[in-house]
Amino acid sequence: MSATSAPVETKHDLLTGTEWNPAQLREFFRLAAEIKAHPDRYCTVLAGRVLTLIFEKPSLRTRMTFEVGIANLGGTAIFLDHTSTRLGEREPIRDIARNLERWVQGIVARVFKQKALEELARNANIPVINALSDRFHPCQALADFFTLQERFGALSGLKLAYVGDGNNMCHSLLTIGARVGADVRVATPEGYEPEEKIVAAASRVARETGGKIEILRSPEEAVAGVQAVYTDVWASMGQEAEAAERERAFADYQVDEALFSQAARDAVFLHCLPAHRGLEVTGGVIDSPRSIIYDQAENRLHVQKAVLHTLLT
């Protein structure tokens, strides 16, 4: 797809990852691959456009890849630091949204609560992109499956095991995985499962795409024979007070060499980062040649450029 080709038809925002159907996702991944292969063809698609980045949480990969991506596409990014003051505390979110839509052409928001993101989207007549919320992390999951497509060539039927907390990352892997026809297995202890509504919605889509969604207790059952093993931190930002309790709950869910050895011989390890070596994953696994964590991080840039191209051109 060239820079002048019609963009993927999509809804106005990217809030959950459910906005695109399977055919649109396939087209989106083709666009991301084209942008990665030929970045010079896309260096002016956001010329004259300004986007604001509103971040309630600290960030390395998300902030850098969006700021670099916007610049690479010829646009300008303005960062609004809300790590000390939450959205809505100083003035209503609806007023923030209605002001921003008068000045900029898009909002990238990294927030504690999905409802804050949705309030921005309801009140801003410009694209709003979820750069992480408590329920979803769609840009990361899009980059993850794009990375797996690069590695294995096809996503339909690919087996991915997610071992750990049923958190925002888990929700997005289920949501996007179902749409690409993957077999997504989640192993998590009792009480830490992904939301039932998100699992049910992903399962409905998977039945249509030939994918499969499984929620399991046993990490060994989940990992057996899969091409990709994924984990995330046990205590996300905002859950620091639960860290000790969560370490006890997840003690049997560490991705170590013994567990990883039960995956397919060509299996790869993924993590959205930052990682805690010695907790959710051992150093021997995350720093091994079969770890593709830095490929994931690089592809955040290319995939987010494709998101920006899709929503703003």
pLDDT of the chain along its 313 residues, tens only?
Answer: 344 344 444 338 999 999 999 999 999 999 999 999 999 999 999 999 999 999 999 999 999 999 999 999 999 999 999 988 888 889 999 999 999 999 999 999 999 999 999 999 999 999 999 999 999 999 999 999 999 999 999 999 999 999 999 999 999 999 999 999 999 999 999 999 999 999 999 999 999 999 999 999 999 999 999 999 999 999 987 788 899 999 999 999 999 999 999 999 999 999 999 999 999 999 999 999 999 999 999 999 999 999 999 999 9
- Of 12, 41, 9, 45, whose CA–CA distance to 27 is shortest? 9
**Residues 7, 148: Cα–Cα separation, whole Å:** 23
Q: What is the pLDDT of residue 240?
A: 83
Is residue 302 within 8 A of residue 146, CB to CB? The reply is yes
pLDDT at 9: 44
User: What was the pLDDT predicted at 2?
Assistant: 40
Structure tokens at 102: 């008068």
User: What's residue 133's pLDDT?
Assistant: 98
List the catalytic residues: 110, 137, 140, 232, 272, 300
Q: What pLDDT was estimated at residue 187?
A: 98
Residue 188 has what pLDDT?
A: 98
pLDDT value of residue 3:
40
Walk me through the domains of the chain, giving residue ranges and CATH numbers.
43-134 (3.40.50.1370), 140-296 (3.40.50.1370)
Q: How far is CA 92 from CA 89, 97, 99, 127, 135, in A?
A: 7, 9, 11, 19, 22
DSSP H stretches of helix in 191-292: 196-209, 219-223, 243-249, 257-260, 283-286
Q: How far is CA 169 from CA 11, 211, 222, in A?
A: 22, 19, 17
Query: Which residues touch 237 (CB under 8 Å, ≥6 apart)?
Result: 57, 58, 112
